[in-house]
Structure 1
Amino acid sequence: MHEITEPTALELLHSSTQRLTMAEAQLFVSQDEFTCSVCLDTLTDPVALPCGHNFCLKCLTDYWDQSQECRCPQCTSMNFTTRPSLRRNNLLNEVIKNLKKTTLSSPPPQNYVGPGDVECDFCTGKKFRAVKSCLTCPASYCQTHLQPHYEGDALKHHKLVDPDRNLKEKLCEKHQKSLEIFCKTDDSCICMMCVVTEHNGHKMGELETEREEKQVSDV
């Protein structure tokens, strides 16, 4: 059984969501603030982590059970050595209940994956369409699950491209890394591991640059 404690008055004061009055919340907050980034649905029985992110109680506990590590699913940089006590965000829960009666609705249908769309690899249940694919991970992400790539230092240097359903074709078969280099000596596309292990001293260029030059020469 997971221990659930009430947040202190000071913690409530510092919560950006909880500083809003009910009327302000209805006017100014966006749908994303009431969406759990794990299930991508409206928060149910919301709990808050010290980093400020809110999740459904069940989603967060299931996520920790499956991943076998305690970290924030959204910012990923917040790691806990021991599983923290989860604090029920009662005020946020009341805001959501009231908004459900008025303006709160399901995420726009166009965000869900449709025919011809690339689906997000991290959505559970009904899939959202991907807005970017990462050649470094490699995986495709919807807008919500893509956020750590913009916020976390460890992911900022990953190579993001438009959604691509053929990511595996852009990976080195031997090292499962993205094909970023063109070896002119062997006339082949290779990854950075190939450069170090098998193509040392060969004449090379960036794959994207070589592709652009070839397109120009073919015109």
Structure 2
Amino acid sequence: ETPTLLLQPENLCCPVCQEVFSDPVVLSCSHSFCKDCLKNWWRQKPTQECPVCRRRSSKTDPPLNRALKNLCESFLQHKDQGSSEILCSLHSEKLRLFCLDHEQPVCLVCRDSEKHTNHRFRPIDEAAQQYKELLQETLEPLKEKLEVFEVGDLAFDQTKVSGNPMWHQVSLDFLLI
């Protein structure tokens, strides 16, 4: 991957919180997470397993992923300096606009090309903010459904555990008949 691709946010996001990694740690399965996200995840689970592949972790304090931490710091520093320097793959120009018709970022050369004749454009930061808000609106009901599912899953596990002695007793009573 080129440095530009490495510094894209989707390559630097924690699978748990979906934000740019903060103090990333790496598990033996090679998946990385924010240190706090992983600790919180493990607090809610009976075993220390990877949130992505469910492989058990032998380490209670996984090591810092220094390379990823450096990439995230570079990305955040770069982001703080203004719009990101992601370049057009066709023209090596900064992606400054978002084509509403093709729903993709474009450079000024792309905008003036025949491919985008009579298309509508927005500044890329404005379009990014609109899409971010739309994603947040879509994400909220999904988070609520996930929470309901997790509560139901926990209740099911508790019912299963509490029902085991009763099941054994009924089985024993049945055998005695």
Using structure 1 for the length normalisation, give the TM-score: 0.38
More strand by share: 1
Greater Rg over alpha carbons, structure: 2
More helix by share: 2
Using structure 2 for the length normalisation, give the TM-score: 0.46
